[in-house]
Structure 1
Amino acid sequence: MGTEGTVLGVVIAVVGVIGSVLVARVSAPRPAPAAGPPLEDDDRAAPALEVSPEIFSHFSNRIRSLEDKVDHLTTAFEAQTIRVTTLERLLRQAMRIIRAANKRLRGAGLEPEPVPRELIPYSID
Protein backbone atom coordinates (compact mmCIF):
# COMPACT_ATOMS: atom_id res chain seq x y z
CA MET A 1 0.00 0.00 0.00
CA GLY A 2 2.93 2.30 0.51
CA THR A 3 3.98 2.02 -3.13
CA GLU A 4 0.49 2.86 -4.34
CA GLY A 5 0.62 6.19 -2.59
CA THR A 6 4.03 6.97 -4.02
CA VAL A 7 2.95 6.07 -7.58
CA LEU A 8 -0.21 8.12 -7.18
CA GLY A 9 1.83 11.07 -5.94
CA VAL A 10 4.19 10.85 -8.91
CA VAL A 11 1.25 10.68 -11.36
CA ILE A 12 -0.35 13.72 -9.74
CA ALA A 13 2.95 15.61 -9.89
CA VAL A 14 3.45 14.76 -13.60
CA VAL A 15 -0.11 15.81 -14.45
CA GLY A 16 0.42 19.03 -12.50
CA VAL A 17 3.64 19.84 -14.39
CA ILE A 18 2.02 19.14 -17.77
CA GLY A 19 -0.98 21.28 -16.81
CA SER A 20 1.19 24.19 -15.71
CA VAL A 21 3.21 24.05 -18.97
CA LEU A 22 0.02 24.09 -21.03
CA VAL A 23 -1.45 26.98 -19.03
CA ALA A 24 1.80 28.95 -19.45
CA ARG A 25 1.80 28.39 -23.21
CA VAL A 26 -1.83 29.41 -23.63
CA SER A 27 -1.62 32.49 -21.42
CA ALA A 28 1.75 33.72 -22.76
CA PRO A 29 1.48 37.06 -24.62
CA ARG A 30 1.69 36.72 -28.39
CA PRO A 31 4.25 38.83 -30.28
CA ALA A 32 2.79 41.66 -32.34
CA PRO A 33 2.77 41.16 -36.12
CA ALA A 34 5.87 42.52 -37.83
CA ALA A 35 3.90 44.46 -40.46
CA GLY A 36 1.44 47.26 -39.80
CA PRO A 37 -2.29 46.80 -39.55
CA PRO A 38 -3.80 43.98 -41.58
CA LEU A 39 -4.33 44.89 -45.20
CA GLU A 40 -7.62 44.54 -46.96
CA ASP A 41 -7.89 42.51 -50.17
CA ASP A 42 -8.10 45.71 -52.26
CA ASP A 43 -4.82 46.99 -50.79
CA ARG A 44 -2.99 43.80 -51.74
CA ALA A 45 -4.40 43.68 -55.25
CA ALA A 46 -3.46 47.15 -56.43
CA PRO A 47 -0.30 48.62 -54.95
CA ALA A 48 0.18 52.26 -55.90
CA LEU A 49 3.04 54.69 -55.78
CA GLU A 50 2.28 57.68 -53.62
CA VAL A 51 4.26 60.91 -53.83
CA SER A 52 4.06 63.71 -51.33
CA PRO A 53 2.41 66.92 -52.64
CA GLU A 54 5.61 68.94 -52.11
CA ILE A 55 7.67 66.61 -54.28
CA PHE A 56 4.95 66.35 -56.89
CA SER A 57 4.52 70.12 -57.18
CA HIS A 58 8.27 70.59 -57.48
CA PHE A 59 8.71 67.93 -60.15
CA SER A 60 5.25 67.98 -61.73
CA ASN A 61 6.38 69.26 -65.14
CA ARG A 62 9.15 66.70 -65.34
CA ILE A 63 6.83 63.91 -64.19
CA ARG A 64 4.24 64.90 -66.81
CA SER A 65 6.87 64.95 -69.57
CA LEU A 66 8.08 61.51 -68.47
CA GLU A 67 4.50 60.24 -68.48
CA ASP A 68 4.07 61.59 -72.02
CA LYS A 69 7.28 59.87 -73.12
CA VAL A 70 6.16 56.58 -71.58
CA ASP A 71 2.80 56.89 -73.33
CA HIS A 72 4.58 57.59 -76.63
CA LEU A 73 6.90 54.59 -76.15
CA THR A 74 3.96 52.36 -75.26
CA THR A 75 2.14 53.41 -78.43
CA ALA A 76 5.28 52.87 -80.53
CA PHE A 77 5.86 49.46 -78.96
CA GLU A 78 2.29 48.36 -79.62
CA ALA A 79 2.54 49.54 -83.25
CA GLN A 80 5.82 47.69 -83.75
CA THR A 81 4.37 44.55 -82.16
CA ILE A 82 1.50 44.64 -84.67
CA ARG A 83 3.98 45.24 -87.48
CA VAL A 84 6.22 42.33 -86.42
CA THR A 85 3.23 40.01 -86.12
CA THR A 86 2.08 40.97 -89.61
CA LEU A 87 5.57 40.46 -91.05
CA GLU A 88 5.88 37.04 -89.42
CA ARG A 89 2.52 36.05 -90.85
CA LEU A 90 3.64 37.17 -94.32
CA LEU A 91 6.91 35.25 -93.99
CA ARG A 92 5.05 32.07 -93.03
CA GLN A 93 2.74 32.63 -96.00
CA ALA A 94 5.77 33.07 -98.31
CA MET A 95 7.24 29.82 -96.98
CA ARG A 96 3.96 27.99 -97.74
CA ILE A 97 3.92 29.44 -101.28
CA ILE A 98 7.53 28.36 -101.90
CA ARG A 99 6.84 24.83 -100.59
CA ALA A 100 3.71 24.54 -102.75
CA ALA A 101 5.64 25.78 -105.81
CA ASN A 102 8.47 23.31 -105.12
CA LYS A 103 5.92 20.52 -104.79
CA ARG A 104 4.50 21.42 -108.22
CA LEU A 105 8.01 21.59 -109.71
CA ARG A 106 8.82 18.12 -108.34
CA GLY A 107 5.52 16.85 -109.72
CA ALA A 108 6.46 18.20 -113.16
CA GLY A 109 9.87 16.52 -112.94
CA LEU A 110 11.80 19.77 -112.53
CA GLU A 111 14.30 20.71 -109.86
CA PRO A 112 12.72 22.67 -106.97
CA GLU A 113 13.90 26.15 -106.06
CA PRO A 114 16.07 26.40 -102.94
CA VAL A 115 14.36 27.80 -99.86
CA PRO A 116 16.06 31.00 -98.64
CA ARG A 117 17.79 30.52 -95.28
CA GLU A 118 15.92 33.51 -93.88
CA LEU A 119 12.56 31.77 -94.35
CA ILE A 120 13.52 28.42 -92.75
CA PRO A 121 12.64 29.58 -89.18
CA TYR A 122 9.13 30.41 -90.43
CA SER A 123 8.48 26.92 -91.77
CA ILE A 124 5.31 25.42 -90.34
CA ASP A 125 6.40 21.82 -91.04
Structure 2
Amino acid sequence: MGGDSTVLGVVIAVVGGICSVLVARISSPRDRGGPQVMVPPAEEGDPPPGLQVSPEIWAYMSGRFETLEEKVDHLTVLVETKKAEVSALERMLRQAMRIIRRANRRLAARGETPEEVPRELIPYSIE
Protein backbone atom coordinates (compact mmCIF):
# COMPACT_ATOMS: atom_id res chain seq x y z
CA MET A 1 0.00 0.00 0.00
CA GLY A 2 2.86 2.36 0.76
CA GLY A 3 4.52 1.93 -2.65
CA ASP A 4 1.31 2.33 -4.69
CA SER A 5 0.31 5.60 -3.02
CA THR A 6 3.83 7.03 -3.54
CA VAL A 7 3.77 6.17 -7.24
CA LEU A 8 0.27 7.63 -7.56
CA GLY A 9 1.43 10.85 -5.83
CA VAL A 10 4.40 11.16 -8.20
CA VAL A 11 2.18 10.62 -11.25
CA ILE A 12 -0.29 13.27 -10.04
CA ALA A 13 2.58 15.71 -9.40
CA VAL A 14 4.07 15.13 -12.88
CA VAL A 15 0.68 15.54 -14.59
CA GLY A 16 0.02 18.72 -12.57
CA GLY A 17 3.42 20.14 -13.54
CA ILE A 18 2.86 19.40 -17.24
CA CYS A 19 -0.62 20.96 -17.12
CA SER A 20 0.68 24.12 -15.41
CA VAL A 21 3.38 24.52 -18.10
CA LEU A 22 0.77 24.08 -20.86
CA VAL A 23 -1.58 26.60 -19.27
CA ALA A 24 1.27 29.11 -18.92
CA ARG A 25 2.24 28.73 -22.59
CA ILE A 26 -1.35 29.02 -23.79
CA SER A 27 -2.17 32.09 -21.73
CA SER A 28 1.04 34.03 -22.45
CA PRO A 29 0.74 36.89 -24.99
CA ARG A 30 2.12 36.17 -28.41
CA ASP A 31 3.62 38.29 -31.13
CA ARG A 32 0.96 37.79 -33.78
CA GLY A 33 3.00 39.27 -36.59
CA GLY A 34 -0.09 41.12 -37.86
CA PRO A 35 -0.11 44.61 -39.31
CA GLN A 36 1.39 47.20 -36.96
CA VAL A 37 0.03 50.73 -36.81
CA MET A 38 2.83 53.04 -37.76
CA VAL A 39 2.66 56.80 -37.26
CA PRO A 40 4.47 58.53 -40.11
CA PRO A 41 7.14 61.03 -39.11
CA ALA A 42 5.92 64.63 -39.01
CA GLU A 43 6.65 66.75 -42.03
CA GLU A 44 7.72 70.38 -41.56
CA GLY A 45 4.30 71.89 -42.37
CA ASP A 46 2.21 69.27 -40.55
CA PRO A 47 0.48 70.17 -37.30
CA PRO A 48 1.82 68.40 -34.20
CA PRO A 49 0.24 65.03 -33.42
CA GLY A 50 -2.49 65.09 -30.80
CA LEU A 51 -5.95 66.51 -30.36
CA GLN A 52 -6.90 68.95 -33.08
CA VAL A 53 -9.59 71.57 -32.44
CA SER A 54 -11.36 73.59 -35.09
CA PRO A 55 -10.80 77.37 -35.01
CA GLU A 56 -14.51 77.98 -34.36
CA ILE A 57 -14.55 75.74 -31.30
CA TRP A 58 -11.28 77.24 -30.06
CA ALA A 59 -12.63 80.80 -30.43
CA TYR A 60 -15.85 79.86 -28.63
CA MET A 61 -14.03 78.15 -25.76
CA SER A 62 -11.51 81.00 -25.48
CA GLY A 63 -14.40 83.43 -25.16
CA ARG A 64 -15.95 81.27 -22.45
CA PHE A 65 -12.64 81.10 -20.59
CA GLU A 66 -12.23 84.88 -20.77
CA THR A 67 -15.78 85.36 -19.45
CA LEU A 68 -15.10 82.98 -16.57
CA GLU A 69 -11.82 84.73 -15.78
CA GLU A 70 -13.61 88.10 -15.68
CA LYS A 71 -16.25 86.68 -13.34
CA VAL A 72 -13.61 85.18 -11.06
CA ASP A 73 -11.73 88.49 -10.99
CA HIS A 74 -14.96 90.33 -10.14
CA LEU A 75 -15.77 87.84 -7.36
CA THR A 76 -12.24 88.12 -5.98
CA VAL A 77 -12.57 91.91 -5.75
CA LEU A 78 -15.99 91.52 -4.15
CA VAL A 79 -14.70 89.04 -1.54
CA GLU A 80 -11.76 91.28 -0.66
CA THR A 81 -14.08 94.28 -0.30
CA LYS A 82 -16.46 92.34 1.94
CA LYS A 83 -13.55 91.08 4.08
CA ALA A 84 -12.50 94.69 4.68
CA GLU A 85 -16.09 95.63 5.57
CA VAL A 86 -16.43 92.69 7.96
CA SER A 87 -13.19 93.53 9.74
CA ALA A 88 -14.33 97.18 10.09
CA LEU A 89 -17.67 96.03 11.53
CA GLU A 90 -15.96 93.66 13.96
CA ARG A 91 -13.70 96.49 15.09
CA MET A 92 -16.77 98.68 15.70
CA LEU A 93 -18.50 95.88 17.64
CA ARG A 94 -15.44 95.46 19.88
CA GLN A 95 -15.44 99.21 20.45
CA ALA A 96 -19.16 99.11 21.32
CA MET A 97 -18.48 96.31 23.78
CA ARG A 98 -15.73 98.40 25.45
CA ILE A 99 -18.11 101.36 25.74
CA ILE A 100 -20.83 99.17 27.30
CA ARG A 101 -18.36 97.61 29.79
CA ARG A 102 -17.02 101.05 30.76
CA ALA A 103 -20.56 102.39 31.21
CA ASN A 104 -21.51 99.34 33.34
CA ARG A 105 -18.47 99.91 35.58
CA ARG A 106 -19.52 103.54 36.09
CA LEU A 107 -23.09 102.47 36.89
CA ALA A 108 -21.84 99.85 39.34
CA ALA A 109 -19.56 102.47 40.99
CA ARG A 110 -22.60 104.73 41.57
CA GLY A 111 -24.55 101.84 43.04
CA GLU A 112 -26.97 101.53 40.14
CA THR A 113 -27.74 98.28 38.30
CA PRO A 114 -25.60 97.82 35.20
CA GLU A 115 -27.15 97.42 31.79
CA GLU A 116 -27.45 93.92 30.37
CA VAL A 117 -24.92 93.16 27.63
CA PRO A 118 -26.62 91.97 24.44
CA ARG A 119 -25.92 88.33 23.70
CA GLU A 120 -24.75 89.20 20.20
CA LEU A 121 -21.91 91.36 21.53
CA ILE A 122 -20.48 88.80 23.99
CA PRO A 123 -18.16 87.18 21.36
CA TYR A 124 -16.62 90.62 20.80
CA SER A 125 -15.76 91.13 24.45
CA ILE A 126 -12.08 91.86 25.00
CA GLU A 127 -12.06 91.32 28.77
Question: TM-score, normalized by length of structure 1?
Answer: 0.57
- 1:38-77 aligned at under 5 Å gives the runs 52-53=52-53, 55=54, 57-77=55-75
Please state whether the residue corresponding to 1:111 is helix, strand or coil.
coil
Instruction: Please give the alpha-carbon distance, in whole angstroms, between the structure 2 residues aligned to 1:23 and 1:68.
Output: 62
Query: Of Structure 1 and Structure 2, which has the larger fraction of its residues in helix?
Result: 1
Instruction: Please give the alpha-carbon distance, in whole angstroms, between the structure 2 residues aligned to 1:21 and 1:103.
Output: 92
Give how far 1:114 is off. 4.0
Give how far 1:75 is off. 0.8
Structure exhibiting the larger radius of gyration computed from Cα positions: 2
* C-alpha RMSD over aligned residues: 3.1
Q: Which residue in the other structure is 1:111 paired with?
A: 115
Runs of 5+ unmatched residues, structure 2: 30-49, 109-113
Runs of 5+ unmatched residues, structure 1: 31-49
Give how far 1:112 is off. 5.2
Give how far 1:104 is off. 1.1
* Aligned residue-pair number: 98
Deviations 1:47-83 (A, max 9, x none): xxx8633x2x124443333232122111101101111
Counterpart of 1:52, as a letter, is Q
- 1:15-54 aligned at under 5 Å gives the runs 15-20=13-18, 22-24=20-22, 26-27=24-25, 28-29=27-28, 52-53=52-53
* Alpha-carbon spacing, 1:97–1:24, altered in 2? closer, same or farther (3 Å): farther
